Every structure is written in C-alpha cells, then in structure tokens.
Amino acid sequence: MKHLLPPRPAGAAAMLRGCPDANVVFAWHVGFEGLDTFGGILRAISSRMPPIRFHLRRVERAEIPSNSITDTEELTKWLDNEWMRMDREVDEALEARNEKRRNHHG
C-alpha cells in the first residue's frame, strides 16, 4: 500500500463480535499532507491550502462475510481487500488533485 497503514484485524474482529448487527464504515481523506508539524501548519495557514476531501463508505452488515467474526483469516482477507480498495481511491484522489494543479499552473 502506498498511502495507508495496514488494517488491524484483531480490533476489527472484537468490534464485530461486540456489536454483531452493526454496519461498518470505512473512511479516508486527502488534503492534510504537510500538516504533521507545527511548521507545516504555519506554512499552510500562510498559503492557499488544497481542498480537504473526506470519503465515507458504509458497508451493510449483510455484505460482510458472515464467518469473518470467528474466522480471523477470512476477516483479514476481507479487510485487506477493503484497505487495498481505499488505498487505490486515495491514490486516484491525489492524482486527480495533482493533475488539476498541473493544469491550473501550467
């Protein structure tokens, strides 16, 4: 993965077991790059920041593999697939933003 840290299957399994009827919400964002230090925040405040984009996707509980609550391998496989999907979406969002910048400045 280029943009995301790997998922934590043990925590996800505990949440799914603890609330067996709950849906799952996946979220990612772009636009906070460079805001990880105080200097980065100061630079961002003094210049035009790129738009911040949030993406949320709800997965109905019925769409989650039913045996993933008890089968850690199945849950890990499902989460890995979802994380890879989000990583691709983040990559596409960053590329679209960078393309827009190139066209605007160039």
Cα 70 vs. chain centroid, distance in angstroms? 24
pLDDT (0 to 100) of residue 84: 98
pLDDT (0 to 100) of residue 100: 80
Q: What is the pLDDT along the chain (106 residues), one digit of tens a residue?
A: 999 999 998 998 899 889 989 999 999 999 888 788 899 888 888 887 778 899 999 999 999 987 777 788 999 999 999 999 999 999 999 999 888 878 876 5
| SS3 at position 82 | helix
pLDDT (0 to 100) of residue 66: 78
The residue with tokens 């019925």 is 62
pLDDT (0 to 100) of residue 23: 94
Helix axes 72-105, 9-18, angle to 10 degrees: 110
| Rounded-to-integer distance, Cα 84 and Cα 3, Å | 10
pLDDT (0 to 100) of residue 99: 87
> For the chain, which residues make up each domain, given as ranges?
9-105
User: Which pair of tokens denotes residue 94?
Assistant: 């960053």
pLDDT (0 to 100) of residue 54: 94
DSSP sequence for 4-22: -PPP-HHHHHHHHHHSTT-
| SS3 at position 49 | coil
pLDDT (0 to 100) of residue 105: 66
